[in-house]
Copies of this chain bind each other. A is one copy, B any other.
Amino acid sequence: MAPKLGIVAGSGGLPAKLAEKCRETGRPYFVLAIEGEADPATVAGAPHAWVRLGAAGTGIKLLKEQGVVELIMAGALKRPSLASLRPDWRAAKLYAKVGLRALGDDGLLSAVIKELESEGFTLVGVDSVLTDAVATEGCYGRHRPDAQAEVDIAHGFRVVDALGVLDIGQSAVVQQGVVLGVEAIEGTDALMRRCGTLRREGPGGVLVKAKKPQQERRADLPTIGPQTVDLAHQAGLRGIAIEAGGSLVIDRDEVAARADRLGLFVIGCRKPS
């Protein structure tokens, strides 16, 4: 049997999907829910404990007591300020080691992963458990991008690549060659809402989402789900393009069904290497 899985639960629907998968396959698991981030519905009925993001020592102790061997980080964590983090001794030691002054999410997550591995945990990616969630190449559903949308998608991937290198964000919205918005810490949902008010007349824009080039695969892979399709539709977008192999699609069938119903395309694109 697979070893006990510890799920460090940030925001969004991913932690719940992982817990569900564990139950389905009979795999033992434990959810370490991050206060202010994890959805309480995620942990309802699951073996779990709540911890502050700054309480690294408590978290590690709990996971060890639970006999967790493999560890997975699921869902986004808002990077807090040092002041609000109130790091415990363990966390403070880590921050002192990595230096926080000019560190983006990516640098921080890599450091956290390294530290957890030094504690004896094996960090695995969400894609190793939800194997069927990794974005595949080609269209989900029956709608396809037209020539203008293809130009917007290509430009969008150039933009998110540049954002990613600087560890800024994973998403951009492009309409008719114009970058309507780019994501920093506000997240993809807020980006789309804003772009709904910034859009121009004529054919709508495209949401493009990709992994940061240097991103640690075991943390915070770009993720879309049915709700992303709804929000894209509300923002007047025509479609969503994600990085095949480098992002996650939650509820693939529902994503395709909803895209078909709302008239959007959802496409996985292999990044040119």
Report A's interface with B, CB cutoff 8 A.
79-84, 100-105, 148, 151-152, 154-155, 158-159, 162-163, 165-169, 172, 175-182, 184-186, 194, 198, 200-202
Contact = CB atoms under 8 A, between A and B. Distances in A.
Q: Within the oligomer, what is the number of copies of this chain?
A: 2
Contacts of A202: 81-84
B176 A168 contact: no
A193 to B, nearest CB: 11
Contacts of A79: 178, 200
A262 B163 CA distance: 32
Given A81-B200, A186-B194, A168 B159 contact: yes
23 contacts: A83-B201, A83-B202, A100-B176, A100-B177, A101-B176, A101-B177, A102-B151, A102-B152, A102-B177, A103-B177, A159-B168, A162-B162, A162-B165, A163-B182, A167-B179, A179-B184, A180-B184, A181-B184, A181-B185, A182-B184, A184-B198, A186-B194, A186-B198
Contacts of A180: 184-185
B179 A104 contact: yes
B168 A200 contact: no
A195 to B, nearest CB: 9
Given A162-B165, A182-B168, A201 B151 contact: no
A83 B175 CA distance: 13
A235 B100 CA distance: 23
B166 A104 contact: no
A201 B81 contact: yes
A151 B99 CA distance: 13
Given A168-B179, A177-B100, A178-B104, A80 B159 contact: no
Contacts of A162: 162-163, 165-166
Contacts of A200: 79-81, 83-84
Nearest to A148: B101
Nearest to A190: B194
A63 to B, nearest CB: 27
Given A100-B177, A172-B184, A182-B184, 8 more contacts: A100-B176, A102-B151, A102-B154, A158-B166, A159-B168, A166-B179, A182-B182, A186-B194
Contacts of A103: 177
